[in-house]
Structure 1
Amino acid sequence: MAVAYDTPRRPAPRPKGKIPESLIYEIMDGKPIYRKGYRDVVSGKKTLEEIRGASTLQSVIVSHLMKVIFSFLDDDVYFILTGEPGVHIDHRNKLANDIAIFDQTVLTPAKISKKYADVPPQIALEVDIEADVAEMTETGYLYKKTRKLFDFGVQKIIWVLTDAQVVMIATPERIETVNWDKDVEIMDGHVFNIGAYLTRKGISPQ
């Protein structure tokens, strides 16, 4: 996969001093991955609430994806979680998704708690990259996180990238990137088309 906007760059140094744990987005290989924009919070330019909030475009896309998913999935068979549901892979890896579809025979009622899920979702969906990737490339982050989720047992990962207006569809067998005006299958022949939906709504993201 090639992402045109992902060019090599010199890693940006982390701010000096202690960084609050509230700015940690994920843990990967025992190292904190901070939330995008955390440098502005540390420098006092923004608040945590400002960088945690999603854009209207991201929110509209997540809302549309949820509507599509709920239109065909049986909620007696699957749990459909949103709001950055976390997965605890092991003590060195704790990751987040925007939408996670869990089979209820895997995420059983007994496993529902105030903690991260310790079992894999069947499908994970992401809208944009919410992590600060100044110390790696965006493509590197995508591939590394995708591989960890696959190793954990996730069967399919779908990334909607609004800047490039593409969708990355990843399975353990292949990774494919298509323009977001193409139909993308979630599962069992059920598809979404971000470009067509935005056009229908009169939305022209710049």
Structure 2
Amino acid sequence: MPLPITRDESSKPKRKIPDHLIYEVMDGKPIYYRGYQSVLNKSKTLEDIMGCSSLQAVLITYLLRVTFRAFDEKKYHVLTNEIGSHIDRNNNFSNDIAIFDKTVLTADKVNRKYTDVPPKLVIEIDTEADTSELTGFGYVYKKSKKLLDFGVERIIWIMINTQTVTVMEPGRDWQVREWNTDIELMPGHTFNIARYLDEEGIVVE
């Protein structure tokens, strides 16, 4: 009796994912926007998954105000809007807020491409990345380690779900704090997420 013909499911060609759904590239592999599968199955649009929440927007605005007070605009670029950072040929990242020394990001390096020099400080609020192939912390760890190795002096990562702030510096233990504590942005300048939200009457559930 002839054996039934079976199809090797692993040999099926994988569905091509459009490049516009790529959020970052890490170790040469694409990391897609969180929710990209909903775009593929047409239950959401690209705009639905690319925009940040109102809470993220409020926090970014607050941190930008603190940052502009702390850094001399004649000496530093304070950049936002998912500023792209080209680490090397296999790693391209996005940052919510990045502060560059103008002696590093000089006028001739400001162009239509990703920056290819390290910021002095990076601030991240949650992530827009799909981390299903990595744990959430695994993604944060790998991205942060690569940024620090690139030359970033300080990373501040705010996580809304856990209401924590992680401060990372090269050669030092990373510090995870509740966001109701004063966090040093730079010497003499601090911020406090919980206090600001309370002043604005914003409740995070």
Unaligned runs of 5+ in 1: 1-15
Pairing 1:45-64 to 2, within 5 Å after superposition: 45-64=43-62
What secondary structure is seen at the aligned counterpart in 1 of 2:56? helix
Unaligned runs of 5+ in 2: 1-13
TM-score (norm 2): 0.92
What secondary structure is seen at the aligned counterpart in 1 of 2:82? coil
1:9 alignment counterpart: none
Find the aligned partners of 2:162 and 2:41 in 1 and give their Cα distance.
29
Identity %: 50
Query: Quick check: 1:67 aligned with 2:37?
Result: no
Q: CA deviation at 1:143?
A: 0.6
2:110 alignment counterpart: 112
Find the aligned partners of 1:174 and 1:107 in 2 and give their Cα distance.
28
Structure 1 moving runs of 4+ over 3 Å: none
What secondary structure is seen at the aligned counterpart in 1 of 2:119? coil
2:192 alignment counterpart: 193
Query: Quick check: 1:18 aligned with 2:16?
Result: yes
2:11 alignment counterpart: none
Letter paired with 1:176? Q
Query: Quick check: 1:99 aligned with 2:97?
Result: yes
Q: Taking CA–CA contacts closer than 8 Å with sequence separation of 6 or more, which of the two structures ends up with the larger relative contact order?
A: 1
What secondary structure is seen at the aligned counterpart in 2 of 1:199? helix
TM-score (norm 1): 0.91
Letter paired with 1:43? N
1:181 alignment counterpart: 180
Contact 2:70 2:186 in 1 (8 A): no
Find the aligned partners of 1:139 and 1:118 in 2 and give their Cα distance.
25
Find the aligned partners of 2:99 and 2:139 in 1 and give their Cα distance.
22
Q: CA deviation at 1:62?
A: 0.2
Find the aligned partners of 1:138 and 1:72 in 2 and give their Cα distance.
30
Q: CA deviation at 1:167?
A: 0.6
1:160 alignment counterpart: 158
Q: CA deviation at 1:174?
A: 1.8
Deviation per CA, 1:108-162, whole angstroms, max 9, x where unpaired?
0000000000000000000001110001101111110010001100010001111
